[in-house]
Amino acid sequence: MSSETLGYEAARDELVEVVRKLETGGLSLEDSLALWERGEALAKTCEQHLAGARERIDAALAVVEEDVSEG
């Protein structure tokens, strides 16, 4: 599954597993590089989800502030 189609929690959980495997060691250089690349893609996906959530929160707060200032 591509990292772009994963939800935040699934991407985060897989990223945790990737980090665990890298920290454990014992992998070939090629396997380590592949895991590193997967981890980078998963981290980017998590960042995009968080940025989207931040935008939604900011938009909701702007509406609340507008309602309060008009009231």
For the chain, domains (ranges, CATH) are: 8-70 (1.10.287)
- The Cα 41–Cα 3 span in angstroms is 6
Q: What is the mean pLDDT of each run of 10 residues along the chain (71 residues)?
A: 85 98 96 98 96 93 82 65
State residue 7's pLDDT score: 95
- The Cα 17–Cα 49 span in angstroms is 19
State residue 53's pLDDT score: 94
State residue 66's pLDDT score: 80
